[in-house]
Amino acid sequence: MESLYIKESKSTPLVDFNAINDKLIIKGQSYPEDSFAFFKPLLEWLKEYLFGKVGQEVGIEITITYTNTSSSKCIMMILDLIESAYEKGVITRLKWICNEHNEYELECAEEFKEDYTFPFEIVLV
Amino acid sequence: MRLKKGCTLGSMKRPELGKYEKIINEGTMNVIFFASFIIIVAILITGISNYTIVRNELINKLQKQDLNYILKSISAQIDGRIDKAKETSLIIADSPETIKWFADGEVDYKYEEMFIQQIKSIAETLHYTVFFGNKRTGHYWTNSKLLTDTMVKDDPADRWFFDSIASGQKITLNIDRNNELNQTNLWINTLMGDSKKPTGVAGVGVDLQDISTEFSNYKIGNTSNLWLVDSRGKISIAEDAEQSGGKLSDYLPENVYDNIMKDISHKNDKPEILSYTDKSGQVDLAFQKLKSCDWVLVFQINRSETLGLLNSIMVSTLATIAAVLVLILIIFYLVSSKIANPYKRAVQFSVELEKEIEERTAEISEKNLKIMESINYAKTIQESILPSDDILQRVFNDYFVLWRPRDIVGGDFYWLKEVANGTILVVGDCTGHGVPGALMTMAVNSILSNIIIEEEAINPVFIIQELNRKLKAALNKENSAHSNSTDDGLDAAICYCDNKGKLYFAGARINLYMLRGEQVTRYVGYKCGIGYIKSDFTSDFIEEEIAVMRGDRFYITTDGYVDQNGGSHGYSFGKSQFKEIILRSSSLSMIKQGVFFQEELDHYRGQNSQRDDITVIGFEII
């Protein structure tokens, strides 16, 4: 499967889904006008990718410095996909990286973490 | 909408180049002029150097070769003829029979007959005039007129005879010029027998007129002159018959003439060359003394004549320049227009683009203007659903409102309804901002009105639950088929303030802050938003009941304020800092606190743009 790479922009995060070394990275702020349009290809890619990863380990690294409401909905969809993959036997290892000086990042991470059961590690840097 | 003509550049009408045309033409012309200038300079340099070289060569050749050659060949010819005539004269003058016959007084009639036959034959064969003069008898014999005369010492015409005898020289030369007959004769006067006691004078006369014809063969151009001059400076033979018999001094400057005459006296028979300038310009002159006599040949030619060839070089150079110039102009025009053409096309292209952009910009501005008008009107509508200051003033003891949509309209709103025993205040933040957000606020607004009136609800938890249900229904969220489409909703804080000093609060992702004295208390809203697919307000969703004390201040803010990025690291403003500024401004009046909040945020934001719609409401109930 081909990797997915989207360069960071002013209102969208860097997306680096590497299908070769199984490392998925989302990093930056997300507040596009049409969040769903931005996240749709990510969701489709993930769905297909995670489907073929049962029994294998997948490293996920997320850093969100800011997200608008609609983007956080989309991020939740991603986390939902991870949750269901985890339930199906994909060994997901999520590191949510937060800047300890940015109150927002930690609040955001904690809010997301509450809803999920898969391994969700908040790393303060 | 006006459809844009979908067309390639090729099919477009070429626009006028206007200001660019001049630049292009100037560029082309500059190239042409510059190139022409260089080539003309090159041709001129070549031409001038050729001219100089050829000129020097020509003058050199004329002086060293041509003039020498002409003089040598003519002098050799004349010398040859004179020498031959001298030989003939010597032979006939020294004939012993004739000397004896003359000395005897021409008495032997037999010999006379023979003598006459002899001189006739010589004259005919050698084209001479043969003459004999007898000293004893004074008889003058010639081949044409026999015994023509008897010479007398006093007759000037016979003077040559007596002069010859008196000179004692074996041979003397004598020229006589007959202008009427256009004849110049050279007479070789030879003393017969012993020079000291000559019997008479004999000799031949040579017609030199044919030499003057010969002269014309050596003439170069129209202004050259060839003269044969005797030792007294008289022109004996000239190519131009009118000059014959004239004086050489009439035709030459004095110093040049003197120079020639001086040279003759030195008996130098090598050609001499000199140049001088007279009124007709530079003149080259060569002269040579004849070997056979004291005569001198003078050849004179104007420099301009010599350089006549150069004129043709000059003319041809100029013609070449003219031709090359024309050719260059044509070639360079073609070449440079080929060179300039891509440039021209590029300029044309950019002009076309510029025009197109202008058109589009105008189109966009027009559309933009319409959209702005439309949005500005939408803003007045959105503002009209917000509670007016009058109501707020009536309901609250004191208050401030910051309502700052990121765009002109937005997803943030606040809503107020007076009910039987109190007031319901709602602060909401719908997903999205701008027009989509504003549309949501309108929908939420109408659902809220609906709930409060139809259900007569005052309980914030119930209102939120109802709002959640009705919004989902309105946005088709119950239909799983649409689950993959957008998922919109809102965050909200709802307060019910009754007339008995109680405030009931329920929030969906929006908190309520209370300032009491120097203490800020945060009442955290429920973790999920309203109207989203997954929104579910379960039994743990309860409301806060607050017994309000005099001076208690309440603050509700949407995330636009606390999430605004700024500061030195670009982090969000944050909830803790929000609490801090409430405390820091607690001594200010509500209205001033509102201004302070605004200033604090603007200061924090700095150059960053506003991220989201911002709404902050502060109020005092009692």
Going from the N-terminus, what domains does chain A have, and what CATH number goes with each?
Answer: 4-124 (3.30.750)
Which chain A residues are closer than 8 Å to B429 by Cβ? 69
Q: How many whole angstroms separate alpha carbon A121 and alpha carbon A59?
A: 11
* Average pLDDT value over all residues in chain A: 92
B559:A36 CB<8 A: no
Tens-place pLDDT, residues A79-89: 999 999 999 99
Q: How many whole angstroms separate alpha carbon B298 and alpha carbon B281?
A: 18
* Six-digit token string for B153: 């010492």
CB B423 within 8 A of CB B417: yes
**Residue B54 is inside which H or E element, if any?**
helix B19-61
Give yes or no for A99 touching B (CB within 8 A): yes
Smallest Cβ–Cβ distance between B486 and the set A36, A76, A107 belongs to: A36
What domains are defined for chain B? 94-207 (3.30.450.20), 380-620 (3.60.40.10)
DSSP B439-484: HHHHHHHHHHHHHHHHS----HHHHHHHHHHHHHHHTTTT-GGGTT
A31:B576 CB<8 A: no
Q: How many whole angstroms separate alpha carbon B324 and alpha carbon B331?
A: 10
Angle, CA of B245, B251 and B255, to the nearest 5°: 120
Q: Which residues of A21-42 are buried (b: 16+ CB within 10 A; e: fewer)?
A: ebebbbebbbbbeebbebbeeb
- DSSP-derived letter for residue B232 is T
Give yes or no for A104 touching B (CB within 8 A): yes
Smallest Cβ–Cβ distance between A103 and the set B431, B486, B576 belongs to: B576
Closest residue of chain A to B610, computed from CA coordinates: A31
Which chain A residues are closer than 8 Å to B576 by Cβ? 103
> Which chain B residues in 527-556 lie under 8 Å from chain A, judged by CB atoms?
527, 529, 532, 534
Antiparallel, parallel or unpaired: β B490-498 and B519-523: unpaired
Backbone angles phi, psi at B475, to 5 degrees: -95, 15
Which chain B residues are closer than 8 Å to A31 by Cβ? 611-612
To the nearest whole angstrom, how far is the Cα of B610 from the nearest Cα of chain A? 12
Give yes or no for A107 touching B (CB within 8 A): yes
Q: Which residues of B173-199 are buried (b: 16+ CB within 10 A; e: fewer)?
A: bebebeeeeeebbbbbbbbbbeeeebb
A102:B429 CB<8 A: no
CB B551 within 8 A of CB B519: no
Which chain B residues are closer than 8 Å to A104 by Cβ? 562-563, 571-572, 574
Q: Which of B383, B433, B404 is nearest to B557 (CA)?
A: B404
Smallest Cβ–Cβ distance between B574 and the set A69, A73, A104 belongs to: A104
Give yes or no for B609 touching A (CB within 8 A): no
Q: Which of B502, B539, B510, B540 is nearest to B412 (CA)?
A: B510
To the nearest whole angstrom, how far is the Cα of A64 from the nearest Cα of chain B? 11
pLDDT by 10-residue block (mean), chain B, 622 residues: 40 53 66 78 84 83 79 83 88 88 84 85 87 85 72 80 86 76 79 87 83 74 79 79 79 84 72 82 84 82 75 79 82 72 81 92 93 92 93 95 94 94 94 88 93 84 94 74 67 94 95 95 92 86 94 95 91 92 95 96 94 95 90
Which chain A residues are closer than 8 Å to B611 by Cβ? 31, 66, 68
Angle of helix A103-114 relative to helix A69-87, nearest 10 degrees, comes to 40
In sequence order, which residues have a C-beta less than 8 Å from that of residue B47 and are 6 or more positions away?
B313, B314, B317, B318, B320, B321
To the nearest whole angstrom, how far is the Cα of B511 from the nearest Cα of chain A? 14
Q: How many whole angstroms separate alpha carbon B513 and alpha carbon B616?
A: 11
Give yes or no for A47 touching B (CB within 8 A): no
Q: How many whole angstroms separate alpha carbon B272 and alpha carbon B229?
A: 15
A66:B529 CB<8 A: no
B527:A114 CB<8 A: yes
pLDDT of the residue at B389: 93
Q: How many whole angstroms separate alpha carbon B137 and alpha carbon B106?
A: 8
Query: CA distances (Å), B433 to each of B488, B550, B608, B612, in order?
Result: 12, 37, 18, 7
Closest residue of chain A to B528, computed from CA coordinates: A111
**Number of helical H runs and strand E runs in chain B:** 15, 23
Query: CA distances (Å), B567 to each of A106, B129, B612, in order?
Result: 18, 138, 17
Q: How many CB atoms lie within 10 A of CB A113?
A: 14
Q: Which residues of B73-108 are buried (b: 16+ CB within 10 A; e: fewer)?
A: ebbeebbebbebbbebbbebbbbeebbebbbeebee
pLDDT of the residue at B113: 84
Query: What region, left, alpha or beta, does residue B43 occupy, with left being phi > 0 and alpha being psi -120 to 50 degrees?
Result: alpha
Angle, CA of B550, B556 and B557, to the nearest 5°: 150
The half-sphere exposure of B226 on its side-chain side, counting CA atoms within 13 A, is 21
Which chain A residues are closer than 8 Å to B577 by Cβ? 103
Question: Number of residue pairs across A and B with CB atoms under 8 Å?
Answer: 52
B569:A114 CB<8 A: no
CA B234 to chain CA centroid, Å, is 68
Angle of helix B109-126 relative to helix B96-103, nearest 10 degrees, comes to 130
ipTM surpassing 0.90: no
pLDDT of the residue at A13: 96
Which chain A residues are closer than 8 Å to B534 by Cβ? 76
SS3 B221: coil
A69:B486 CB<8 A: no
Q: Which ranges constitute the DSSP H helices of B189-253?
A: 209-218
Tens-place pLDDT, residues A4-54: 999 999 899 999 999 999 999 999 999 898 888 999 999 999 999 998 889
Total-model pTM: 0.55
CB B47 within 8 A of CB B323: no
Give yes or no for B487 touching A (CB within 8 A): yes
* Six-digit token string for B413: 């709103």
Q: How many whole angstroms separate alpha carbon B462 and alpha carbon B485?
A: 28
